[in-house]
Structure 1
Amino acid sequence: MSGRLYGVGLGPGDPELVTVKTARLIGEADVIAYHAARHGRSIARSIALPYMREGQIEELLQYPLTVETTDHPCGYQGALDDFYVECAARLAAHLDAGRTVVVLSEGDPLFYGSYMHMHKRLAHRYPTEVVPGVTSVSAAAAVLGRPLVERDEVLTVLPGTLPGEVLAERLRATDSAAVLKLGRTFEKVRDAFAEAGRLEDAWYVERATMGAERVAPLKEVDPDGVPYFSLALLASPAERTFVGGAPVEEQRGEVVVVGLGPAGRPWLTPEAQDALAVATDIVGYGPYVDRVAPNPRQERHRTDNRVEAERARHALELARSGRRVAVVSSGDPGVFAMASAVLEASADYPDVPVRVVPGLTAAQAVASRVGAPLGHDFCVLSLSDLLKPWEVVAARISAAAMADLVLAIYNPASRRRTWQVAAARDLLLEHRLPETPVVIGRDVGGSGESVTVTTLAELDPDHVDMRCLLIVGSSTTQVTPQGTVFTPRRYP
């Protein structure tokens, strides 16, 4: 008796958006099959991983090419057709042996999905079931918080690979639209929106519901680095109409200083998400404000990084007028961030409530990537001498070194501060052995993440910038042969 083939939709990226049925089938399957580019990394597998079990057979269906040229006698399509035939034969062997085969597909299996190529070759030969999934279009609308279509409006879904003039024509003729497969097609798609007169209303959504999710007006997006997993969305043009119900009771203004953690959504606490959700105004340093998903009902106040006092007073003034203000900081707002500035300024605003919502710190994030270097007593200090003289910084470095504390060093360097890392290293070497472990964490949790384990003697200041955090070990900090760094809780 032959096995059964399932094409299952995993949704747009968040493992919690996998349907109950898909999760069950993944856990029960004998064989899990998934597509990947030549690098071998599969987004589909990463989404399904929480539902997989040990002992399952995995079939990696690795494309022979993506956008490259080929010497196949039938060209690009011929190479892909041969690939699909070979993949179908591999799956058929499992089905002939009576095994249940689940083919993973991001989004919905029959909506621009790779699964359909297996379906066309196998569904007429074996018992088959397709389990639908949440599409990227639905996810983008949900992330944006705007309806796709209302009443008798028309939604048009377009691939960005169409010619620019065809895209513009279709965009002019529809109410709402989603343009998929951006990546290399982004500039052409953006130009088509402009030609159709729809650019002002268009939004860009990248990796909807994933950790690196990003939302922005389409016209403001830099074409460099736009990934394939992004789309342009033209939401419903209908105005929102509210009917019935009592008027919303006017709320008293407040300021909430919110820690965003070191990177994207996975590092954001539920309490921080709630504070951001109810805010009427988002205030902060520009790049941190940009990490909060845009919401049309909220006002965003982006400022320079050197105006903390002015930013704090502005937030308090907004709250005094009845606004609910979220002042955002990277990491934890109480660690070299905005909480102290807001609380200091609040002395002049005794009628405005201020509360602080903590966030995961950069030190914790970097430490987690290598093990547990902060496992014993440690010291947190900033290498910046903008708000305190270098003599104070140097004295504290020496004191912490003499006390044999692990050091977590923030703000190690910038474009204008380039010598402090070398100076700090030399101070530490007066009290620490040259082989003392040093961890350099850069953009942890972000797209440019890198983590390096080196020693105090080999610490190269040229490899350190403002986006880095350093962890310098104590006399007991150890590095295992596998590269794990930890500081024992027991002291000699």
Structure 2
Amino acid sequence: MTQPGTLYGVGVGPGDPELLTVKAARLIAETEVIAYYSARHGRSIARSIAAGLLREDHLHEPLVYPVTTEGTDDPAGYEGVIRQFYDDSAQRLAVHLAAGRDVVVLCAGDPMFYGSYMYLHERLAHRFPAQVVPGVTSVSAASAVLGRPLVERDEVLTILPGTLPAEELARRLADTDAAAVLKLGRTFDTVRAALLDAGRLPETWYVERATSPQGRQTPLAEVPAEDVPYFSLALLPSPTSAAARGASPRPDPVPVGEVVVVGLGPAGPRWLTPEVARALREAEHLVGYGPYVDRVPVRPGQQRHTSGNQVETERAAHALELALAGARVAVVSSGDPGVFAMASAVYEVATAESRFAGVPVRVLPGLTAAQAAASRIGAPLGHDFAVLSLSDRLKPWPVIEARLAAAAAADLVLALYNPASASRRWQVGVARDVLLRHRDPKTPVVVARDVGRAGETVTVATLADLDPATVDMRCLLIVGSSTTRVSSRGDGSVAVWTPRTYPG
């Protein structure tokens, strides 16, 4: 019985033949069958890189891609055509492997990094011995030719295909430190638009055919779309490196300092918007309540100014002072900065003191706690609702009580922030009694604690049975209206929802 041959997926690197590994060069020279992908014209980039290692007696298996820009009769469209191509290519190589001949599949870059070899591997590795020989990727090559590190220390590198929708690209580009976007060519306009939308275009480099004699690199903003081949990429190198050398192509977008008030959402990075992530990344100073600032990743060179929870005015003044001196400052809030948070405090101080009149102030929204809590239990905010704080630190309790009564009489769903704290224990019970003057005792109440964090709990009670002892500062309460419903779902869960229509 003939011993089967071995399938080798061999990475030949990005273009410079001297970047082939020793193992790759040995296998190419020793193996009987050389396979490679090519376009219909017959030229193959991978084959051209390895050309100096090919022998006259090598058996060649050119795997010629179908033209996928033309029409097709395949009912599955492009996916059907390309799937059949890989099936046919795998079968051609299987004939050699079954006959005992080893096969090297040449792959530009690395075989398992956006490479077409992997589709052969999926079809053949369970039938024949198979090995993958890694190669230098285009991303590493681009970093090398630019002479700029990809990432340093705790920075995050994101690899993206240019074929993603522009909105998704922009979101991911805004939410990372460094990035590489591959598969440009026809996607270039989409990628450029996404970089512009994410605010990353000025710092992005264009690298074409890295390490090859035809290679070039230039700021991406200067590249016309008609000059972009498929074998090119967009690279956002390490922001730390760029800042350290003072050589980033991005001009400072703010000629004077500014204050950006940002919302982190109620918990965790999944509820952080790309716009806020970008502002946090670009800020020279972070100002905020200590536990909120601690949620922001530490960035080299960025200064952090933390303070207690009851010094909002002093915090705002400090941020404005820093901006007045020319710094880019992010004031950090949990949830949304405009909902019982720092945005109004910053504007209060900026308006009261004339010396801050010229300091730009921007507010970037975040997901607020009421939205997060509502999403966990269904749709209790599905109709008109009011948002109130039960804290009497900044307004007298009689005002709170009057507003509770008015909102209850108007039959609005209520989202109650700051219901209780270590020193405020009686307010929840009094608020419940005020609401009971206008609401059915069976009105549903959602008690959401630590939404989005470890230990999250969301429970449903009735207004009459609401126990103030179970409520603290980590809770948000949602009190239903007369139309709010509680439904049992087929999976055993409970949903609280308020219909979009109102009787009468």
TM class by smaller structure = 0.5 to 0.7
1:473 counterpart = 2:472: no
Change (3 A) 1:263 1:247: closer
1:267 counterpart = 2:276: no
Query: Tell me, which stretches of 5 or more residues in structure 1 are unaligned?
Result: 1-122, 133-140, 148-237
Q: Matches of 2:464 and 2:246 in 1, distance apart? A: 69
Q: Matches of 1:328 and 1:440 in 2, distance apart? A: 26
CA-CA distance at 1:436 after TM superposition = 0.5
**Code of the aligned partner of 2:500:** R
Change (3 A) 1:243 1:294: closer
Change (3 A) 1:243 1:291: closer
Change (3 A) 1:286 1:125: same
Task: Give the equivalent residue in structure 2 for 1:425.
Answer: 432
Q: Matches of 2:132 and 2:463 in 1, distance apart? A: 57
**Code of the aligned partner of 2:436:** L
CA-CA distance at 1:480 after TM superposition = 0.4
Q: In angstroms, what is the RMSD of aligned CA positions?
A: 3.3
CA-CA distance at 1:392 after TM superposition = 0.6
Task: Give the equivalent residue in structure 2 for 1:387.
Answer: 394
1:145 counterpart = 2:155: yes
Q: Matches of 1:466 and 1:143 in 2, distance apart? A: 36
CA-CA distance at 1:287 after TM superposition = 0.6
Greater radius of gyration (CA): 2
Q: Matches of 2:376 and 2:131 in 1, distance apart? A: 41
Which of 387, 403, 406 is equivalent to 1:396? 403
**Code of the aligned partner of 2:155:** G
**Code of the aligned partner of 1:291:** R
1:297 counterpart = 2:301: yes
**Code of the aligned partner of 2:261:** V
Report Cα offsets for 1:109-157 as digits up to 9, x if no partner.
xxxxxxxxxxxxxx9999678999xxxxxxxx8682399xxxxxxxxxx
Q: Matches of 1:378 and 1:292 in 2, distance apart? A: 31
Report Cα offsets for 1:438-477 as digits up to 9, x if no partner.
1011111111211111111111111111010000000000
Report the 3-state secondary structure (helix = DSSP H, G, I; strand = E; otherwise coil) of the residue aligned with 1:480: strand
Q: Matches of 1:142 and 1:428 in 2, distance apart? A: 56
Q: Matches of 2:463 and 2:156 in 1, distance apart? A: 52
Task: Give the equivalent residue in structure 1 for 2:245.
Answer: 242
1:356 counterpart = 2:363: yes
Task: Give the equivalent residue in structure 2 for 1:225.
Answer: none
CA-CA distance at 1:311 after TM superposition = 0.6
CA-CA distance at 1:340 after TM superposition = 0.5
Change (3 A) 1:278 1:244: closer
Task: Give the equivalent residue in structure 2 for 1:489.
Answer: 500
Q: List, as ranges, runs of 4+ consecutive aligned residues in structure 1 with deviation greater than 4 Å.
A: 123-132, 243-250
Q: How does 1:186-225 map to 2 (within 5 A)?
A: none
Report the 3-state secondary structure (helix = DSSP H, G, I; strand = E; otherwise coil) of the residue aligned with 1:446: coil
Q: Matches of 1:247 and 1:388 in 2, distance apart? A: 46
Q: How does 1:312-327 map to 2 (within 5 A)?
A: 312-327=316-331
Q: Matches of 2:300 and 2:246 in 1, distance apart? A: 20
Change (3 A) 1:243 1:448: same
CA-CA distance at 1:251 after TM superposition = 3.5
Task: Give the equivalent residue in structure 1 for 2:340.
Answer: 336
1:370 counterpart = 2:401: no
Report Cα offsets for 1:204-263 as digits up to 9, x if no partner.
xxxxxxxxxxxxxxxxxxxxxxxxxxxxxxxxxx9x963867896583100000011101
Report the 3-state secondary structure (helix = DSSP H, G, I; strand = E; otherwise coil) of the residue aligned with 1:334: coil
Report the 3-state secondary structure (helix = DSSP H, G, I; strand = E; otherwise coil) of the residue aligned with 1:484: strand
Report the 3-state secondary structure (helix = DSSP H, G, I; strand = E; otherwise coil) of the residue aligned with 2:286: strand
Report Cα offsets for 1:175-226 as digits up to 9, x if no partner.
xxxxxxxxxxxxxxxxxxxxxxxxxxxxxxxxxxxxxxxxxxxxxxxxxxxx
Report the 3-state secondary structure (helix = DSSP H, G, I; strand = E; otherwise coil) of the residue aligned with 1:351: coil
**Code of the aligned partner of 1:326:** A
1:450 counterpart = 2:450: no
